[in-house]
Chain A
């Protein structure tokens, strides 16, 4: 019988491109708890060693903890080993490295190439090239392109189970030849994730020429994606590639005893886990899923899962400065900026942010631009996730469907906004959700770490998820109605533990915050108008909703979907600031008299 190893002290490292966090977990009264967290800027760049940021974060942690993990004057190169002696386990969730170039070889754009692209977009990779059936007509043209691209990862897929054998064999030949042509330093890591009946042939031909891994078919039947097993294998190649690129990373990988994964993979894993747990608890009730987003400095990650459907999309956020001129990003961001700023102001802010991604907004205008950019990024993520996982939403332009509860928010711009109302409004404007949901802030960015620590201590995520390390931002009810602005949509009775019951009405265009003490159980008696869908089963269907009040109490969004912004600059800014005020998002600023 396998005996589970007992860990009493675990150090979780979370190394992002800007911030390095260390979280110390211990066992108290038989339960895992988060003891302390320390942070520092990640030490990336010329002359930097990754462990320096880790040592800085541990020093920060030691200021609050009664544990000493480092000597008084640590030397960053050797001290990680000392830390390893001080705890039972180190685990590392990483997202600091660059996107790794991958090439996809498959058959059709709607079939295997689509499946392969979904895999590549779910991890920190860049799709350097994608080649299908038509490209097989020009073998040498493709070979030339492959040589030019010389990707670090090559994924060969295609053929549903038992299909397209001849074409796959042609690709195998091509890959074999490519590996014979390039020098050993340019040989890619090879993955075969196609028709399983060809696995032996692929193995015979490709194993001798390079590192090959055989994976389950990405698309076992047309329209059916199965990318999860491939994610686990491919992401390890990303970790390996980063070890060769980032000074000091290998030392940390060794200290973690291989308990190292990418945060995108871990977020996807945790969302699948939470969705399954929800499904198990749900019984016969209509199924609802879980959604999480992390707005990082260099890339954003969105993951959603419901029932057996799951999907993650990673989107790089730092572009070349010149890209800003060639895309609509600047004008889109300005459109959502709750301050009177020019296109040039926005352009300057975004360009500077690309150069100095660790910078934080000092002025109100900078804050308004950074939060507008967050909205645009959230909107883009919804579109990307809908494209790669059509089950997610058929109507991405009108927001995400009311199928997800909770929605978990991570990333400094959201979790460290000056007021919870600002975080809530960024989420509402960015996702434009419909129906009812609970919004949770992952202030310490623990969700991916829990997905990793579960490997070494399976009870740790269970105990932590039941604790208060995640913050309930509040519940939202988003009304959907074709009625014109100003029309009555909903009559509401509110009962909560520590306030007197009261009633009121919601009209189209309203954005209302019900201020209810944090932690109170709330019962909302909802009577919608005939055409109003509040997420209880269709237009006109009302009923009782029970929620636990979060930082923002309960927010009712009756602005409609998609949210319309006035064309006129002054009116638009007025409108955006009005919504911020509705949610208390300007209280901090108003008290200073700056707006």
Chain B
């Protein structure tokens, strides 16, 4: 069975393709080191159009006016620049009325764009430009820790990683008060309330890694000025020790959050990349098939959000409380040391 997978890995090669939605300009060079917020490519389309009736101004038929254009299409021009000239008894000139680009010349009329809508592509991670597709995009690569998540608020950022304590006796307010978090990427084991999110904003964090999030807070989080990634899902989910042990082990390192979620069709899920250049790594195994021994996240029932190991993939379907009889997997929960059955479609492979 083909299944969904989220990568949580201590040391892996990471390669990401960034592509413009349409043809534009690549702003980096092969081998260049980039940071998450760096603009690596941009593409513009004309905006704020104006039309100049060149044929009329030259006193010519529209079809004849083409011959007297003295500028190239897409050429940037300044106010006053001559764009057409007719040397008759009296020389007639047509000048640019504003700063802009000549974007088209059609039937004696010049179309001028005075502005442009520009799409900019950010690197989204620290790494090296490994390949360039001219006009379209680049491939960035690095080696390090990778944690993919379930949801992101669409922003990109980086900073020193700081993991807030998840001990039951320590509230997040205490942790926030006691520690300087300005400019840091903060990782919180559980979820956050609105007040805590406001506090993080005031303290000037540059990114937030959450275990889970109440879906009611999604519109608020989408408006925050820094990237937020939710690793496990929506609701009050139990803290996932595997992910947070990995984050704790990388505390103090530079972490990059790319919280631009995949579109479900082709995109990469939102992710945290913690580069460890020069470190030894293992190739990422193929997670296309669910298999015994894999680490998985449970996404339904009372154990939703917990992780465990696949112990068995029974041949026979299992009848669940809902009355649905479907293929299941037997999971050994890491935190509870117990075996449970979960519908296979409700699992994400992590690892």
Which residues of A line the B interface, CB within 8 A? 17, 40-46, 48, 52-53, 56, 96-98, 140, 143-144, 147-148, 150, 176-177, 180-183, 185-186, 245-247, 298, 318, 321-322, 324-326, 344, 347-348, 350-352, 355-364, 366-367, 416, 418-419, 588-589, 592, 594
Contact = CB atoms under 8 A, between A and B. Distances in A.
B48 A366 contact: no
Contacts of B265: 44-45, 96-98, 245-246
Given A147-B45, A246-B265, A247-B266, A364 B2 contact: no
Given A144-B47, A246-B265, A356 B299 contact: yes
Given A140-B50, A147-B117, 5 more contacts: A45-B265, A144-B48, A148-B117, A181-B103, A367-B323
B60 interface: no
Majority-rule SS of B interface residues: mixed
Given A144-B47, A245-B266, A362 B322 contact: yes
Interface residues of B, number: 54
A418 B323 CA distance: 5
Contacts of B345: 41, 358-360
Nearest to A320: B218
A326 B150 CA distance: 21
Q: Which of B1, B265, B326 has the most CB of A within 10 A?
A: B265
CB-based closest 10 A-B pairs: A418-B323, A351-B215, A588-B323, A367-B322, A362-B300, A46-B268, A351-B234, A348-B235, A41-B2, A361-B322
A186 B322 contact: no
B151 interface: yes
B104 A181 contact: yes
Nearest to A76: B288
A96 B267 CA distance: 14
B68 to A, nearest CB: 19
Contact of A46 (B106, B117, B222, B267): B267
Contact of A148 (B23, B47, B106, B267): B47
Given A348-B234, A361-B324, A318 B23 contact: no
Contacts of A17: 264
Interface string B250-288: 000000000000111111110000000000000000001
Contacts of A140: 49-51
B346 interface: yes
Q: Which of A245, A322, A416 has the most CB of B within 10 A?
A: A322
B169 interface: no
B238 interface: no
Contacts of A247: 266
B218 A325 contact: yes
Contacts of B321: 362-364, 589, 592, 594
A236 B4 CA distance: 30
A224 B265 CA distance: 37
Contacts of B320: 362-363
Contacts of A358: 4, 345
Contacts of B150: 355-356
Q: Which of B151, B218, B326 has the most CB of A within 10 A?
A: B218
B343 A360 contact: yes
A367 B324 contact: yes
B216 A53 contact: no
B65 interface: no
Contacts of A592: 321, 323
A55 to B, nearest CB: 9
A551 B176 CA distance: 61
Contacts of B45: 147-148, 150, 182-183, 186
B342 A362 contact: yes
Given A40-B1, A361-B324, A180 B104 contact: yes
B60 to A, nearest CB: 20
Contact of B4 (A352, A356, A360): A356
B111 interface: yes
Nearest to A357: B264
Contacts of A326: 219
A216 B325 CA distance: 49
Q: Which of A97, A144, A150 has the most CB of B within 10 A?
A: A144
Interface in B1-50: 1-4, 22-23, 45-50
A589 B325 CA distance: 12
Interface string B308-350: 0000000000001111111000000000000000110110100
Q: Which of B2, B235, B342 has the most CB of A within 10 A?
A: B2
Contacts of A40: 1-2
A440 B192 CA distance: 47
B301 interface: yes
Given A147-B117, A352-B234, A367-B323, A44 B266 contact: yes
Contacts of B189: none
Nearest to A367: B322
B346 A362 contact: yes
Nearest to B113: A181
A344 B213 CA distance: 12
B104 A177 contact: yes
A144 B346 contact: no
11 contacts: A140-B50, A144-B49, A180-B104, A183-B45, A348-B214, A350-B215, A356-B348, A359-B346, A362-B342, A363-B300, A363-B301
A56 B51 contact: no
Nearest to A60: B1
A53 B219 CA distance: 34
A97 B299 CA distance: 25
Nearest to B261: A355
B233 interface: yes
B343 A46 contact: no
A298 B234 CA distance: 19
